[in-house]
Structure 1
Amino acid sequence: MVHILKCGLRDPHPPFRKYHQSGDLILGAIASQASINSSLKGFTEEPAPVSFQDLIPETKNYQHILALAFAVKEINENLQLLPNITLGFHIYDSFYDAKCTYQATLLLLSTWERFVPNYVCDVQNKLTAVIGGLDSQTSLHVATVLDIYKVPQLIYGHPPAMNDKTPGLPFYQMAATEALQCTGILYLLLHFKWTWIVLITTDDDDGESFVQSVIPLYSQHGICFAFIGRLPQGTFITETAAQAIKIHDRIMGSRANTVVLYADRKDVLFVIVKNFTKTTYTMSKPKGKVWIATVHADLGALEDEWEQKLIHGALSFTLHSNDAPGFYEFIENRSPSTSMGDGFLHDFWLETFSCVIPNVVVGHDKFLNCTGKEKIKDLPADAFEMSMSGQSYSIYNAVYVMAHALEAMSLSQLKHRSMVESGAWNKLWQLHHFLRGVSFNNSAGDEVSFDQNGEISTGYDVINWVSPSNESSHRVKVGKMVSWAPAAQAFTINEEAIIWPSWFNQAQPVSVCSESCHPGSSKKMKEGKPFCCYDCDPCPEGKISDWTDMEDCHNCAEESYPNKKQNLCIPKTINFLSYEEPLGIMLTSFALSFSLITVLVLRAFMKNHDTPIVRANNRNLTYTLLASLLLCFLSALLFIGHPRKLTCLLRQTAFGIIFTVAVSAVLAKTITVVLAFIASKPGSRMRKWVGTKLVSSIVLSCSLVQAAICVTWLATNTPFPDVDFHSVTGEIVLECNEGSVTMFCLVLGYIGFLAIISFTVAFLARKLPDSFNEAKFITFSMLVFCSVWLSFLPTYLSSKGKYMVAVEIFSILASSNGLLVFIFFPKYYIIAFRSELNTRTQLIRKKQT
């Protein structure tokens, strides 16, 4: 098991701490129990170099050793797994030093107790694999040696950053991948909407590799970096202190409340925590931050009460772990009297219980002798944990992986002689093939198998570090990130179980550069700032934003429209001029009433068709005009109701032809009046033009022209039912699309042309001497007609939806009513109420001067 710091030894043959157990096959492990002595937690301007005497065990890491020993013990006691083979192990301490690591690796490859590389004479104690290490650089150092001998290496820490100088080495990764951890942190940030973060990494290959991985991934998901701090790698603490102080000040001065820490526990991360804030905290409470530590930054290694308070509420990713049955009892029964060959136990006992084992440790006069009643289970959690940690769980699985691979290799050789006798164990390089195919369920119930890249299918646990007042810190599992689940289910978090740093008063912290833009507004980027820093602009009219922090506002679908706050699309109501609504009822009533009046007038004229006033006004022309007016009133009903294909075809064409007949009849009547007056003069040649033929030809020819226009319209651009989504806000207007605006204008223009001619002629003939001047009434009627349709155009164009239809109906009714009232009501009044004036004498009476 591996974790390298700084050895500082000058002895070429250092007194390695070791733990060994013989067997037919040996699992090698390179442990690292060394740590910086507590006397070096502070720093001075000129610190002394670290010496061997300053190195003491990291008590929590002792569990790694016990996990390997426990797994080997279980396998050797299992009659079903490797029944004829005894597993052994050799564990060496590398003291965090590359030189020590290389030497320990070569010792594993040599004959036991003889440091002779490439020379092995033992029948037993054949090295099959090496388990290690926790530190990436140690793993690389070990792999460069093992690659020569094709000995597999099972890494329970994170693998080193690979480059062109480090080609494919025989790694089998027992811990979850670095990429899975990056994704897990991303999911955590996105879950709590922390988009403005600080990233602190080590200034080495691993740190740079992490930065290059997360920057494009996190930026793609909307996360920005307030800054990225790199902790320099120095020999002495003072070499990194100044830079660490600057990074600390930037962290505390930043608006980002979330800090992602990618650093080993040996790095300056804890120097920042220990040395800078402790002196200032006593004067003022420091600003709280949410620390998100990667698996490399073992926050559990912080033992000082002050340090534990600083990480209160922090979140960290740890390797997934589970308690193997019997492991607690195995640790509980551990003692110097029952553990033979364990060179680490004495150092562990000295560090944790501050006592020395009699007749074993000498030269420690300041420590009392141990009583023998010391129990590991009585140690506080910050000194030693009884539950299996993530690294220990990976080591436990690594031992079983090797056992199952050896079992598979043994079964493949059943057709031959014993592998030991045949020398098959001398070809352990073949073990790689069986390692890749390992798949089993361990005693904790978890499945263990490798993928095609030699990486185990596992995950990370999300831990919340809680440090209550006057109590040691403890970890609370609040989530997990697994590799085997679908993307939507890979990350889970129980935010209700999280205890936040006291600075935030147990409210979920916020870590953003700019406040969120609420629905109804969109983000506007600030020039020269990261994309997480922005202003909020209200959506322009007609657009909405229905989510927080939208990049741009968008239009609603055609079937909906924005509400007043412009944050929601409301379904539009379907609207058209119907018979049920008040406006439709009113216009329908007018149309039917005027139609009834027209029928009454027509009936009165037909009943009195032989009277002088009817005969004098050309009875057939009068009946034609009244009939066309009746149809004009009724044609208004085609514009009311749900637009159908038939009604859309008939609306404008029927209106155009009927109105043309009516106006041409008025024109014929006007021309008849003028010709009749001229023809009444003695010797006039116009007498022959006065008659029904001229009237019929005028009406027929004018109507045929309009009919030709309408037929052309229907043949080229047929009107059809249509839907208007945009004219009226909040409404879907059902209407008739005229097909061609040009043809519609041509129909109206032709009617207007006839009306202007009629008005002109009638106006010129308005002073003709007669007791009953027909031209004068025609003038008034055409004046009303033209006024109505001239005002129709701007009103129609400025109206929308059903009101456009209402304007046209009103114009039809008003203009038709003007013709009816001014032309026929004076005559109807005489017929109905002043019959004494309906005589020939009255008609030919000259108007007195």
Structure 2
Amino acid sequence: NFVLMEALQWTTGDTSLPLSVCSLPCRTGERKKVVKGVPCCWHCERCEGYHFQASEFTCELCSYEKRPNQNRTSCQPIPIIKLEWHSPWALVPVFISVLGIIATTFVIVTFVRYNDTPIVRASGREMSYVLLTGIFLCYIITFPMIAAPDVVVCSFRRIFLGLGMCFSYAALLTKTNRIHRIFEQGKKAVTAPRFISPASQLVITFSLISVQLLGVFVWFAADPPHTFVDYGEQRTQDPLNARGVLKCDISDLSLICSLGYSILLMVTCTVYAIKTRSVPETFNEAKPIGFTMYTTCIIWLAFIPIFFGTAQSAERMYIQTATLTVSLSLSASVSLGMLYMPKVYIIIFHPEQNVPKRKRSFKAIVTAATMTSKLSQLAAERPNGEVKTELCEGVEAMPPTKTTYVSYTNHAM
């Protein structure tokens, strides 16, 4: 028989003898699927996805926070990740924030150093410091947003996420509203409107800010801050690439609510900025505030599709954190650059321009605003030269008013 076996020739040229078994043993990570009616025969099936080989014949699903190991014989914890400081997604926002903090500190120091000079007084010292505080907070929020989440960090995120914007736009809204009321009142009477003093402006501003703080305190009471691991955000098809993301308990809805009030203040301020765009620029900061608000609105209109459009991305945590922090820093930079850097430039490099401006009566200010409005209305009907000449002659012909003189430029802001 042995000689006969040696004499056998296989068509494949393989001289090895075939095994006399129905099925071969399964490899590690595979289960046996018995052939119906033939209990000694089976097919080998690999445990797929997040399943592991629980026994010779079964695969079982790992618990939600675990994944199968390399050979699928057991489960192991899914690695937990967070945004690292050395990540490019963190380095860029931190760099912008550090530059902004340095610039804001420089402006604050300059304003404090030259606190009694005309240009600082004309800016409205009290409101300027409130606005600078808001700008500073917008830059500071970058650090708790990137820091490793814990109860303290999550608490800071809740408090300061919308507070910086609230400080900034509450102050700007109060300014633009005051300017609007002054010139609307001036069209009806020569008396100044109520609540335009610096103390009144501070009360109005902090009343607006208190709404944001009240909302935060209610949020703290209803749902104390805590952390959790989101295993669903990066639960990939390949378990080897699965990650859990350590996060604060701030959902997209909570984020919208936190920023929503500040965005409402921003939009309202923009509306008032449009209404006061025709005010003579020599009297107040209406036009710089207007340019600031238009640019800020563009920044946040770009933020919304980027932030929510990446909700299904594997890089969601990195993109959304970077987008939010950069948007906050850019909006703060716009306010700082347009409203304060020109003043700091004059204070430091052109002190000869830092002198009191000629005081004008309330009626004279309103008259100038009215002339500007008429000039805009008549520009489409007559040549520019004729319109300007007519209006200038009208202003020169006006008799001097006996209204009590006030320094509008020193108290308008």
TM-score in terms of structure 2 length: 0.69
How far 1:711 moved relative to its partner?
A: 0.5
Aligned match of 2:129? 623
Residue by residue, what CA displacement relative to the aligned partner does 1:751-800 show, whole Å, maximum 9, x if unpaired?
Answer: 11111101111122112122365222222222233333343334333252
CA distance in structure 2 between the aligned counterparts of 1:642 and 1:517, rounded to whole angstroms: 45
Contact preservation (8 Å) 1:724, 1:732? yes
Stretches of structure 2 that go unaligned for 5 or more consecutive residues are: 376-387, 389-413
CA distance in structure 1 between the aligned counterparts of 2:56 and 2:359, rounded to whole angstroms: 85
Summarize the Cα distance change of 1:580–1:752 in structure 2 as closer, same or farther, 3 Å threshold. same
Aligned match of 1:509? 19
Summarize the Cα distance change of 1:657–1:841 in structure 2 as closer, same or farther, 3 Å threshold. closer
Aligned match of 2:210? 704
> Superposition pairs for residues 327-726 of structure 1, below 5 Å?
468-469=2-3, 509=19, 511-512=21-22, 539=48, 542-543=49-50, 554=61, 558-560=65-67, 572-678=78-184, 683-726=189-232
Question: Counterpart amino acid of 1:714?
Answer: F
How far 1:545 moved relative to its partner?
A: 6.0
Residue by residue, what CA displacement relative to the aligned partner does 1:37-93 show, whole Å, maximum 9, x if unpaired?
Answer: xxxxxxxxxxxxxxxxxxxxxxxxxxxxxxxxxxxxxxxxxxxxxxxxxxxxxxxxx
Give the count of matched residue pairs.
349
Matched, 1:733 2:245: yes
Aligned match of 2:334? 818
Contact preservation (8 Å) 1:516, 1:549? no
> Superposition pairs for residues 133-148 of structure 1, below 5 Å?
none
CA distance in structure 2 between the aligned counterparts of 1:553 and 1:635, rounded to whole angstroms: 45
How far 1:696 moved relative to its partner?
A: 1.4
Contact preservation (8 Å) 2:52, 2:75? no
Aligned match of 2:407? none
CA RMSD of aligned residues (A): 4.2
Aligned match of 2:409? none
Summarize the Cα distance change of 1:524–1:825 in structure 2 as closer, same or farther, 3 Å threshold. farther
Residue by residue, what CA displacement relative to the aligned partner does 1:446-471 show, whole Å, maximum 9, x if unpaired?
Answer: xxxxxxxxxxxxxxxxxxxxxx449x
Aligned match of 2:317? 801
CA distance in structure 2 between the aligned counterparts of 1:772 and 1:508, rounded to whole angstroms: 101
Contact preservation (8 Å) 2:162, 2:262? yes
CA distance in structure 1 between the aligned counterparts of 2:286 and 2:276, rounded to whole angstroms: 6
Residue by residue, what CA displacement relative to the aligned partner does 1:596-630 show, whole Å, maximum 9, x if unpaired?
Answer: 10011122222333333322221100011112211
Contact preservation (8 Å) 1:577, 1:642? yes
Question: Counterpart amino acid of 1:746?
Answer: C
Summarize the Cα distance change of 1:520–1:662 in structure 2 as closer, same or farther, 3 Å threshold. farther
Stretches of structure 1 that go unaligned for 5 or more consecutive residues are: 1-308, 310-467, 471-500
Summarize the Cα distance change of 1:791–1:548 in structure 2 as closer, same or farther, 3 Å threshold. farther
Contact preservation (8 Å) 1:521, 1:544? no
CA distance in structure 2 between the aligned counterparts of 1:604 and 1:696, rounded to whole angstroms: 22
Which of the numbers 279, 283, 286 marks the counterpart of 1:768?
279
CA distance in structure 1 between the aligned counterparts of 2:181 and 2:346, rounded to whole angstroms: 24
Please tell me whether Structure 1 or Structure 2 has the larger radius of gyration of its CA atoms: 1
How far 1:579 moved relative to its partner?
A: 2.5
- Residue 141 of structure 2 aligns to a residue whose secondary structure is helix
TM-score in terms of structure 1 length: 0.36
Question: Counterpart amino acid of 2:114?
Answer: N
How far 1:695 moved relative to its partner?
A: 1.0
Summarize the Cα distance change of 1:509–1:524 in structure 2 as closer, same or farther, 3 Å threshold. closer
> Superposition pairs for residues 820-835 of structure 1, below 5 Å?
820-835=336-351
CA distance in structure 1 between the aligned counterparts of 2:349 and 2:72, rounded to whole angstroms: 65
CA distance in structure 2 between the aligned counterparts of 1:516 and 1:783, rounded to whole angstroms: 72
Summarize the Cα distance change of 1:682–1:613 in structure 2 as closer, same or farther, 3 Å threshold. farther
Question: Counterpart amino acid of 1:752?
Answer: I
Identity %: 25
- Residue 758 of structure 1 aligns to a residue whose secondary structure is helix
CA distance in structure 1 between the aligned counterparts of 2:317 and 2:68, rounded to whole angstroms: 16
CA distance in structure 2 between the aligned counterparts of 1:667 and 1:788, rounded to whole angstroms: 18
> Superposition pairs for residues 317-332 of structure 1, below 5 Å?
none
Summarize the Cα distance change of 1:533–1:588 in structure 2 as closer, same or farther, 3 Å threshold. same
Question: Counterpart amino acid of 1:558?
Answer: E
CA distance in structure 1 between the aligned counterparts of 2:325 and 2:260, rounded to whole angstroms: 17
Aligned match of 2:385? none
Which of the numbers 293, 296, 317 marks the counterpart of 1:782?
293
Contact preservation (8 Å) 1:721, 1:735? yes
How far 1:680 moved relative to its partner?
A: 5.8
